[in-house]
Structures are given as C-alpha cells and as structure tokens.
Amino acid sequence: MDELIINTYGGIFEQALIEEIVSVGKLVEFKEGDVLIDIGKYIKTMPLLIRGAIKIMREDFDNGELLLYFIEKGDTCSMTLSCCMGDKKSEIRAVAENDGLVVMIPVGKMEEWMGRYKSWRAFVFQSYDSRFKELLSAIDNIAFMHMDQRLYNYLYEKSKINNTKVITTTHQEIAYELNSSRVVISRLLKAFEHEGKIKLNRNNIELLRS
C-alpha cells in the first residue's frame, strides 16, 4: 500500500501525513460502471483516487442525466468533501469510468488534518479550485456551445481519460451523458465521419485527427 500512496501523493503531502494516510486509509478497488457515490446519499468516508478515472454526473428530477467532468489519479472530489464536512447529502453521482483504486479516509481525520497539515489544507483548496473550474467549464459547454461541439469535446475527453483513440461505447450511452437523444448523436457522429474526423464502428468510435 505504501508505495502506491507515495507514488501518487508523495509529491504533494508531507511525510507525516503520508504515514497517517497509510495507517488510517483503506484501499478499495472498483470496477467500471460501479456507482461510488449516489445522489441523496450521505458520505462518511472520503476517497482519494490512486488509479483509474471517475465520472461525475448530475441528474434531473425525473429523467435526464448529464456528465459534469472526470476525476483522475491524484484528485479527489471536493463536492464529496463538502458533503463530509457539512454532513450533507450528495448532490452528484460518481461512477467509475474504468477499473481503479481509491484510498478511503474517515471523515473525522480530514477535519483533524485541516488543522495539522499545511499540505492537506493546500490540497483541499486546490481541489475546490479545480472543481470550480470544471463546473464552470461544464457550464460553458452547455450554455455557449452547440451539440456538435459538445459532442466533439466529449469524444476528446473520453479519449484522453482512457488514453486511447478508440472509444468503446454506444450512441445511446453518449446521448445519456450529454442529456440528448440517440438519434441526434447518431446524426452528428455521421457528419463527423463524413468530415473525416472519426470512423464509426459497431460499439466503438475511432478518433482520426486528434
């Protein structure tokens, strides 16, 4: 366990904090598709991501869903942080984008560390900051851009997060994550293909020009 944490967080946290994390943290593996946090749930442990990627989703009151952003190695979700500290319900859903690994930290420790470790404070604030940026970026996407651009950004992000040019998913799945409909996505993807940007296959999409 030690090497894993040192590997990911060694550059960020001071030695004493790393040791604390090793001693109180619990490693948990997850698989693609696992729902790590759901809307309306209370969270009692906070995850620090070591391997894999997690997607953060927002849900409409009755049906719609929307991908907000991804979280990668070395990150945490400050919204979860908010929940923990304030003992509030989660506003978002976190779903594993692929297989991965987290260290779970009990809530109590987090607050304690806020007072004791400067590097933890910095981490928490920097985490808040990047989450704000990502939310704003999500807002820019849906407020200022058309579906074709949003779709293209989506493909690009997926490709980056999974570190591959071949995105394995269905049009329906994309439609869910962009809160659109399958037919619209198929239509736009077809247009991209005609423009030579992608190649469409069954159950996967190949990015040509990145």
Contact residues: DNA, CB under 7 A: 146-148, 170-172, 179-184, 186-187, 189-190, 193, 200, 202-203
- In the complex, what is the shortest distance from the CB of residue 176 to DNA, in angstroms, rounded to a whole number? 11
3-class DSSP state for residue 13?
A: coil
Q: Are 21 and 120 in contact (CB under 8 A)?
A: no
CA 176/CA 133 separation, integer angstroms:
23
Query: Which segments of 68-209 does DSSP mark as H helices, in order?
Result: 78-86, 107-116, 118-144, 147-162, 171-177, 182-194
Minimum CB distance to DNA smaller for 51 or for 182:
182
Q: In sequence order, what are the residues at sequence separation of 6 or more whose Cβ sits closer than 8 angstroms to the Cβ of residue 179? A: 60, 64, 65, 66
Minimum CB distance to a second copy smaller for 70 or for 128:
128
Residue 186's binding partner out of DNA, a second copy, none, with CB under 5 to 8 Å set by partner kind: DNA
Q: Which residues bind a second copy (CB under 8 A)?
A: 58, 60-61, 64, 66, 68, 78-79, 82, 85-86, 88, 91-92, 114-115, 121, 125-126, 128-129, 131-133, 135-136, 138-140, 142-144, 179
- In the complex, what is the shortest distance from the CB of residue 138 to DNA, in angstroms, rounded to a whole number? 15
Q: Are 119 and 127 in contact (CB under 8 A)?
A: no
- In the complex, what is the shortest distance from the CB of residue 200 to DNA, in angstroms, rounded to a whole number? 4
Residue 40's binding partner out of DNA, a second copy, none, with CB under 5 to 8 Å set by partner kind: none
Phi-psi region of 99 (alpha: psi -120 to 50; beta: other; left: phi over 0): beta
Minimum CB distance to a second copy smaller for 188 or for 205:
188
CA 177/CA 151 separation, integer angstroms:
10
- In the complex, what is the shortest distance from the CB of residue 10 to a second copy, in angstroms, rounded to a whole number? 22
CA 90/CA 149 separation, integer angstroms:
30
Minimum CB distance to a second copy smaller for 149 or for 203:
149
- In the complex, what is the shortest distance from the CB of residue 1 to a second copy, in angstroms, rounded to a whole number? 29
